[in-house]
Structure 1
Amino acid sequence: MEFTLKTNIKATAKQIYKSWLSTQGHTKMTGGTAFVSDKIGDSFTVWDGYIKGENLELEPYHKIVQSWRSTNFEAQEEDSKIEIIFNEKDGETELTLTHSNVPESGEHYIKGWDEHYFTPMKSYFEFLK
């Protein structure tokens, strides 16, 4: 299964990119404890260990590609992959998230991205202004 989500956030691509790949920034913008890195090949955990993965490809302020799995994945299921593209215009950033290789039981992740990422991120960056 694969899906693509888009949202607009009132922040620069640089602000969002740096927050996504910083332990303190990721924790603050989502509200869940995160341990992340901005280095390719480094692993991460977010949402209090519910999600883990590895940085596969990083293009500063433009693109993040990570392997991704939650504790709901079955042992035999391979990691899924997220690709986030940042497209900044007029002081806000369109964030396009493509989540691929999602287990068939992963329909709920669509709602999860909105509730646990996009909504708190919008509030966080609005508050920073």
Structure 2
Amino acid sequence: MARRSIIHLSVVLPAASGKLFAMYLDPKKHAAITGGAVTISATPNSRFRAFNGSLSGRTLLAEKPRLIVQSWRSTNFHADDPDSTLFLSFYDAGKNKGRIDLVQLDVPKADYKGVTEGWQLYYWTPWRRLLAG
């Protein structure tokens, strides 16, 4: 089995943390961030799909308004790679600013760079642009 890694990221976006939490779990708002249809829910064990199925998994826990935990995998993971576990923690970071701290466990070494860069490219940058618009 390939060696896996942990991703630690943090971003501050121009919206209150509660709004960021709600946007992530709202299929239409999440789709507005990512640019494609999204299946997502706060319901435990509910399906998660984004980017035409390139990302998939399940929402394991959603503790409003602070914590989302998902099982998560990319189509770039090998068949014998376990799902990674994604933790998104939401905090206020000043007036009309929210911080998201991300920890993603068990990211396969072969996809570590792609997943790490993907958060910036496919989430943080378009999310910031959407909030500014």
Shorter-chain TM range is over 0.9
> Once the two structures are aligned, what percentage of the paired residues are identical?
28
Residue of 62, 65, 71 corresponding to 2:69 = 65
1:15 offset after TM fit, Å?
1.3
Give secondary structure in 2 for the equivalent of 1:25. helix
- Give structure 2 stretches of 5+ with no counterpart: none
- Root-mean-square deviation (CA, aligned residues, Å) is 1.0
1:65 offset after TM fit, Å?
0.6
| TM-score under structure 2 length normalisation | 0.91
Contact 1:29/1:125 (<8 A) preserved: no
| TM-score under structure 1 length normalisation | 0.94
Report 1:22-37 matches (<5 A): 22-37=26-41
Which residue is equivalent to 1:55?
59
- Give structure 1 stretches of 5+ with no counterpart: none
Residue of 102, 106, 114 corresponding to 1:108 = 114
1:35 offset after TM fit, Å?
1.1
Contact 2:55/2:75 (<8 A) preserved: yes
Residue type matched to 2:45 in 1?
Answer: G
1:97 aligns with 2:97: no
Residue of 84, 89, 114 corresponding to 2:88 = 84
Matched residues, number? 127
Cα-to-partner distance string for 1:63-97 (whole Å, 9 max, x where unaligned): 10100001111111110011001111321001111
